[in-house]
Amino acid sequence: MTKIAFIGAGSLVFTKNLVRDLLTFEAFQDCTIALMDISAERLSYAQRAVENLIAAGNYKAQVEATTDRAEALKGANGVVCTILVNDLDVWRTDLEIPKSYGVDINIGDTRGPAGIFRFLRTVPVMLDICRDIERYCPDAIFLNYSNPMAMLIRAMQSESSVQVTGLCHSVQGTAKMLADWIGAPMSEITYRCAGINHQAFYLDYKWNGKDAYPLIRDAVLNRPEIYNEEQVRNEMFLHLDYYVTESSGHNSEYNAWFRKRPDLIETYCTHGTGWNPGAYAATITYAERLRAGWQQQMEAWRDSPINLQRGEEYASYIFNATIGDGTLFEFNGNVRNFGLIDNLPEGCCVEVPVLASRGRLSPIHVGSLPDQLAVLVNTSARCEELAVEGALTGDPRKIFHAICFDPLTSAVLSLAEIRSMVDDMFAANRKWLPQFKHYS
């Protein structure tokens, strides 16, 4: 009997949707779903939600729930991770300290000063999970949804033998958005997408084999409701010629063009009708509201109407290809760059097409990114490489240098100001980062 472990199962929406998708495949309708979370209370909500799914679909699957990670992993064929290390009281400083220096970050879970410090707190836990997988289920396929994706995958793939990749819904989600803009059925769309997590670009995007970029450009230029839906990404597309995968909220903080001055934030980051990339305070307020009413939210999510139709997340298709019936599946995944993108750093984490087959995840060579994209993406990738090296060696100087070259940070602050900000961030995280000696 196939066993799939969910680490961080208290992330109820993810868990509920991914289990639903899994159970639509015949190969998993009698599987064991092992749910693990450090919060017994959140775990109980997840267990009830999965039991409701199994009953609604009349599946033969079994569900187990435990706060013991080793117990969940023993004998697992597949592992999904959706953890968040630390609570709002800790990670809010990732946003508030840079903001006090004038670096107005929006979301802060991927890169830049906020993403790097989230990574520093998260990577020891992720490496512990890898060591447990090596011990209890060494042949398992490990799919990670936790951010910051690129730095975590880069560290796990260099420090463990686990077959792991990172997944993000932005590739297929944005592809569907663009298809809707030009009135194309997704079944008639093909694309080739590559770069790094949240900064991958559609190197081609075709409708029935014909270049659809002219149609997208026409829609962005001539339909205000489309331009306003994704102002930051649409500006990037109009000037860089290729469409980026992740939302305007994220991309507004990954470069130097949109958040370095209040007038730019007002112009590009406050009036969008899609994911509003406005001030950092909105992110904190949203998180505070969720924390205050999390039990009510969990009850609502647990007991919401059950839809047994498969969703668009990659995980279930990948598991079906690797540990299910073996049907091949191509997806965009996060892996280290060994001969995949020619003009990005060797060994950095890239997001490229990957072929899932029986027991294997095989990345596909892309070639070179267009020059203007390579400049932008290289900066982020090299900052991430510095941050990973600093995390693995306990060298705070490398963390400082990684943040020195972050595009938004360097557009706003001097080197001395960056040093002071990083010092403050280390001080706020001291109890969570014992591997670092005093920053100097």
**Can you name the residues that pair with 341 across neighbouring β-strands?**
367
Average pLDDT (373-384) is 98
Is the omega angle on the peptide bond into residue 370 within 30 degrees of 0, that is, cis? no
Measured distance between the N- and C-terminal CA atoms of the chain, rounded to whole angstroms: 54
Higher pLDDT, 435 or 425: 425
* Whether residue 161 has pLDDT greater than 90: yes
Six-digit token pair at 29? 């309708």
Burial per residue of 215-254, b for 16 or more beta-carbon CB atoms within 10 angstroms, e otherwise: bbeebbeeeeebbebbbbbbbbbeebebbbbbbbbbbbbb
Collapsing DSSP states into helix, strand and coil, what is residue 165? strand
* Chain segment 242-259, per-residue pLDDT in tens: 999 999 999 999 999 999
Q: Residue 413: which of 171, 3, 112, 62 has the closest Cα? A: 112
How far is it, in rounded angstroms, from Cα 13 to Cα 41? 15
* Whether residue 178 has pLDDT greater than 70: yes
Element spanning 93, H or E: helix 88-100
Beta strands in 305-434 (DSSP E): 329-336, 349-357, 360-363
Full DSSP string of 98-123:
HHHTT---SS-SSSHHHHHHHHHHHH
Q: What is the pLDDT at residue 364?
A: 98
How far is it, in rounded angstroms, from Cα 14 to Cα 22? 12
Give the max Cα distance, the chain.
Answer: 63
181 in Cβ contact with 174 (< 8 Å): no
Q: What is the pLDDT at residue 437?
A: 73
What positions carry a catalytic annotation?
169
Map out the domains of the chain with their CATH numbers.
3-89+108-166 (3.40.50.720), 90-107+167-278+313-440 (3.90.1820.10)
The alpha-carbon radius of gyration of the chain (Å, integer) is 21
